[in-house]
Amino acid sequence: MELNIGVDLGGTNLVIGLVEGESNILAKKQTATNAGRPAESIVEDIDRLSREAAAEAGVDFADIRSIGFGSTGIANSTTGRMEFAANLFWSDVPIRDLISGLTGKPVFIDNDANAAAYGEHLAGAGKDADISMTLTIGTGIGTGLVIRNEIYRGFNFAGMEAGHMVIIQDGRPCKCGRKGCYERYASASGLIYTTGEFMDEDPASSLWTACEGEKIRLNGRLIFDAADAGDATALRAVDTFIGHLACGVTSLLNMFQPEILAVGGGISAQGERILAPVREIVSRELYSRFGKNHAKIVKAELGNDAGIIGTANLWKEGIK
């Protein structure tokens, strides 16, 4: 069986997985990213953790075929350079050559949302679909589209950033510089922001007790729990969030019509609680609703492992 390493570098954590075949994770290692340190220092951790993962799994490091790397930002898969990654403070980092230089392995790189979508396409919710799209809903919204085992990147490797599709013109400011981006409403932080706005209008909401009077303590689970317990403001916030999520999903389906649209990230733990009403709104609004075939909106299957499974398979991307 093929052995490959998948690397998922986020703003908070660096996770390495040793993957056998397409998706069998033999060992996983993690450390803090400590964003802001030089890329060389992070690459030393990637090398060390890769070797530790091999040792833990009883695998000879020499038997590992490749290393795949994913992080947020603009990952040029052809040049192997991270052209820009805001949360890592990286600009034009030759990450492929740095990792390859230290490990001696062929290295393949991509954007982390693309990698997660690729993982789901190969071994998760999209494995039986020709065309699948994955939304990873966390602090922001990562999106990836895979068409018959090929990741859609745009000509400049900056494509499929649907989190920065504006859904409300002149809406909430986004770190990208625009206003009203999808991820400012339909991410976990969007839900928290909406909830905070509604709480200001309702001093009696149980959410004030749940967050001990400090909105900074709010999180998705607290909000969904309060909604399920019948708190009117929490219910209104959840309904508003679902409306925003469905608005973007409908537009994405109108544009791309993937066979499968998988929803992943922390909020997907709510499962049918959010997916059923999203499907209901989409079924009313989708341009192609009178057609015969419809995209399936499902929960992503690989959870937090989508990134390492996707990157571990990057070596074969495009191979038919």
Does 279 participate in binding Zn ion (rule CB under 5 A)? no
Residue 69 φ then ψ, to 5°: -125, 135
Question: Measured between alpha carbons, how far is 25 from 113 in angstroms, rounded to an integer?
Answer: 19
Give the residue, chosen from 176, 222, 235, 269, that forms a contact with Zn ion under the rule CB under 5 A. Answer: 176
Does 186 participate in binding Zn ion (rule CB under 5 A)? no
Question: Measured between alpha carbons, how far is 179 from 186 in angstroms, rounded to an integer?
Answer: 14
We find the least distance from the C-beta atom of residue 173 to Zn ion, in angstroms, to be 9
Q: How many amino acids of this chain bind Zn ion (CB under 5 A)?
A: 5
Q: Would strands 296-299 and 81-85 be described as parallel, antiparallel, or unpaired?
A: unpaired
Stretch that binds Zn ion, among 57-65, 127-135, 173-181, 268-276 (CB under 5 A): 173-181
- DSSP per-residue codes, 261-299: EEEESGGGGGTHHHHHHHHHHHHHH-TTTTSS---EEEE
The SS3 of residue 29 is: strand
Stretch that binds Zn ion, among 18-26, 43-51, 163-171, 292-300 (CB under 5 A): 163-171
Does 269 participate in binding Zn ion (rule CB under 5 A)? no
Does 174 participate in binding Zn ion (rule CB under 5 A)? yes
Q: Which of 59, 176 has the CB closer to Zn ion? A: 176
Identify which of 18, 153, 161, 35 has the alpha carbon closest to the alpha carbon of residue 93: 35
Does 168 participate in binding Zn ion (rule CB under 5 A)? no
Does 181 participate in binding Zn ion (rule CB under 5 A)? yes
Q: Which of 149, 251 has the CB closer to Zn ion? A: 251
Site for Zn ion in 124-153 (CB under 5 A): none
Identify which of 1, 129, 80, 67 has the alpha carbon closest to the alpha carbon of residue 311: 67
Site for Zn ion in 189-218 (CB under 5 A): none
**In the complex, which residues of this chain contact Zn ion (CB under 5 A)?**
164, 174, 176, 178, 181
